[in-house]
Amino acid sequence: MTEVGVLEVDAVTKSFPGPAGGLTVLDGVSLQLGPSERLTIMGPSGSGKSTLLAVIGGLEPPTAGTVRLDGVDPYSSDAAARAAYRNRRVGFVFQDHHLLGGCTALDNVLLPALAQGRVPVDLVVRGRRLLERVGLAARADHRPAELSGGERQRVAVARALLLSPRLVIADEPTGQLDSHAAADVASLLLELAAEAGGMLIVATHSESLAARVGGVRHLRDGRLDA
């Protein structure tokens, strides 16, 4: 029986069809994380980092192998159950913040709760507190176009942590930021993820971010080193 709070990725392979035959992006990738553990995945562009995160996060089904978080395999159920898995168990931070341009910073933070229906008062309070923690309490009513790149990414970090997910996945979270903003976002991501007590997986090209996250493993030719 899988222990609660454990992520298990077992022999995951992902292939895509193509005119010259199938392209294998992931080739038998396995890893395991326990409660509060961190993992950094590094590798050249095209090595499969984003694909691996998408498979782990319930966004992209593997061709073979299994993913289990708290013993739950998101690909063993229907699309609605998979969406619930992503919403309740996983928080995402992407290189491009993926904020909704017509919504305020606070509304963007509250999106994971909005996906479940009416937002309870306690989560509105938590959303405001998270914006305060990332230094944007005074910008809660601003829309993404009124925020800097670093501020937009801080909103994305707050959104990922709103529901205290078991797993936070960050795909090049500082890749489009200058060094100052990158250091700021990295600090907030690590601090808030640690407070939430969940696992953290970061894919990055940044040596400095990798050094701060720790647990570095390299993905090359679809394979993850030991």
pTM of the model: 0.92
Identity of the amino acid at 3: E
- Helices 121-133 and 149-161, axial angle in degrees (round to 10): 140
Low-confidence residues in the chain, pLDDT < 70:
1-4
Query: Where do the domains of the chain lie, and which CATH numbers do they carry?
Result: 7-224 (3.40.50.300)
**What span, in angstroms and rounded, lies between the C-alpha atoms of 192 and 188?**
6
Identity of the amino acid at 37: E
Q: Which pLDDT score, from 0 to 100, does residue 3 have?
A: 54
**What span, in angstroms and rounded, lies between the C-alpha atoms of 141 and 128?**
11
Q: Which pLDDT score, from 0 to 100, does residue 1 have?
A: 42
**Residues composing the chain:** 226
**What span, in angstroms and rounded, lies between the C-alpha atoms of 204 and 185?**
13
Closest CA to 44 of 173, 221, 226: 221
Q: Which pLDDT score, from 0 to 100, does residue 126 have?
A: 95
Q: Which pLDDT score, from 0 to 100, does residue 4 have?
A: 62
Q: Angle at CA 213, nearest 5°, toward 210 and 215?
A: 85
